[in-house]
Structure 1
Amino acid sequence: MFNKITDELLPILAGLFVATIFGFSFLFTKEGLEVLAPFHLLGFRFAIAAIILTVLKILGIIKVNFRGKKLGVLLLLTTFQPVAYFIFETLGVQITSSSEAGMMIALIPIFVTILAAVFLKEIPSKQQVIFITISVVGVLFIIVMKGNLDVKGQLKGLFILLGAVISGGIFNILSRKLSLKFKPVEITYIMMVIGAVVFNGISIIQHIGAGMLKQYFQPLENLNALIAIIYLGVLSSVLAFFLLNFMLSKIEASRSAVFTNLTTVISIIAGVVFRDEPFYWFHIIGGGLILLGVWGTNYYGNYEPKKVVSRTYKT
């Protein structure tokens, strides 16, 4: 009985931690972008994450072994997450606010549910569809009611963030399938290494073109930039992705993805408290609908933990 409760509770707790960390990540991304260019920030972020995981691997704290495993699909996953996702997210956050970025990212469950039904045959129950819809309505309600924004700039930022939403949905599906062949830490490790190589590569080329390669590490002298890089690199990239991949290995994709809606509420709170972003009555209503959707989707979940655990790797 205790093991059953633990199997059900741990993925939920992991999802809550992921939502909290990702919720604040928009704020720290916004802070970092005030000092660093998008690819420069991403390069430092993933470099720190890759270094930490490599050290843990060398010390034997984590075990990563790709010997005899087909890496083709895993490399395909990295093109969507972190490469495509973070290009769209970071550029989108640069144009919009941290709150609005969180709202858009909450739309990921729509794409995950559709893709999971088609490719994973994970058909959500009618109750789950209703509550997923409720949470999405909450997000759309906030966006529509925020009519005081510059429409042209808002639409551009939202379309860019839509690319992140689509990439995130595909990542959820691929990660779910890969969890049967790779341990969560292996998925996380290769994601951080690829991210570090790709984003630093782009940033270095940009610095060479601008004749500023000698100043590549200069932004690290700025305290705000350093704090943002550490938060994004250690918490958002290492801890959160490990928890995310763990969660995806335990429960179905459509159910786990709804935690991104909780990220929306946290991102709004973080933006209001720490960046003085405006907070209106429709944020309360929209946020309430999002939380209701998160609760309902999990309450009416119909997964069987023991069956899932028996075919996954333990870390």
Structure 2
Amino acid sequence: MILCMFQPFLYFMLETFGVKYTSTSEVGVMISMIPVVTGIMGIIFLNEKMNLKQVVCIVIAVFGVIIVNLQNTGNQTSSILGRIMILAAVICAGAYGVYVRKLSKSEFTPIEITAAMQLIGTISFTSILSNIAMVVSIFAGVFLLNEKFNFYSIVGSMLIIISVIGMVIYGKGKHEDLEIEYIN
């Protein structure tokens, strides 16, 4: 039940209300930080290790988010409340990612975890939209809502995308080790 409070309940609730008070392109950029936040939380709570390349990617991602948020401080469609809600949603998603790894190694099967999440999601979110991917939110904001996607947004988005790709590429060995450990 704790896992289900992080996601789907809190994550989608915070994201849904955060989108209301923040531009969709900014939301997309911040949501793309989930793998980075999950990695950091894995280090803190599961004692996972990261190599230097992954740490550099995290620093680049954080720098990208700072650039996007500094640039958007004068944006009429964004508010501090919206940004805080989206940041809290990202933290909930990271907590989910870490906690689900812990639970799946010891206490519950993937089917049990999925069933609990589906049940809580169904109860909590009858008629609410699901997760908006970064690319969809940016394109929707720019092309449908005529939001500006200027140089700072491009640079910040590219830094975040590059860092997330780097996290995946440089973390491949870690996932293989976890699979071997889980099988044994």
Alignment counterpart, residue 112 of structure 1, candidates 38, 49, 60: 38
Question: Residue in 1 aligned with 2:143?
Answer: 273
> Shift of the alpha carbon at 1:297?
1.9
Q: For residue 276 of structure 1, give the secondary structure of its aligned residue in structure 2.
A: coil
Alignment of 1:299 onto 2:169: yes
1:223-302 aligned at under 5 Å gives the runs 232=130, 263-301=133-171, 302=173
Change (3 A) 1:285 1:78: same
Alignment root-mean-square deviation, CA: 2.7
Over the matched positions of the two proteins, sequence identity in percent amounts to: 36
Q: Deviations over 1:160-186 (max 9, x none)?
A: 222212211211111111222434343
Q: What TM-score results when the alignment is normalised by the length of structure 2?
A: 0.82
Change (3 A) 1:100 1:122: same
Cα distance in 2 for partners of 1:148, 1:126 equals 35
Change (3 A) 1:76 1:304: closer
Alignment counterpart, residue 104 of structure 2, candidates 179, 186, 199: 179
Whether the 8 Å contact between 1:109 and 1:132 is mirrored in structure 2 is no
Q: Deviations over 1:171-215 (max 9, x none)?
A: 111111122243434322211211222345xxxxxxxxxxxxxxx
Cα distance in 1 for partners of 2:52, 2:67 equals 22
Change (3 A) 1:278 1:304: closer
Cα distance in 1 for partners of 2:144, 2:181 equals 44
Question: Residue in 2 aligned with 1:311?
Answer: 182
Whether the 8 Å contact between 2:18 and 2:85 is mirrored in structure 1 is yes
Cα distance in 2 for partners of 1:285, 1:103 equals 11
Q: Deviations over 1:246-285 (max 9, x none)?
A: xxxxxxxxxxxxxxxxx53553133223333222122221
Change (3 A) 1:145 1:192: same
Whether the 8 Å contact between 1:265 and 1:287 is mirrored in structure 2 is no
Question: Residue in 2 aligned with 1:84?
Answer: 10
Change (3 A) 1:124 1:84: same
Cα distance in 2 for partners of 1:264, 1:283 equals 13
1:25-64 aligned at under 5 Å gives the runs none
Partner amino acid, structure 2, of 1:308: E
Greater relative contact order (CA < 8 Å, ≥ 6 in sequence): 2
How many aligned positions are there?
Answer: 181
Alignment counterpart, residue 64 of structure 2, candidates 128, 138, 142: 138
Cα distance in 1 for partners of 2:32, 2:92 equals 13
Q: Which runs of 5+ in 2 are unaligned?
A: none
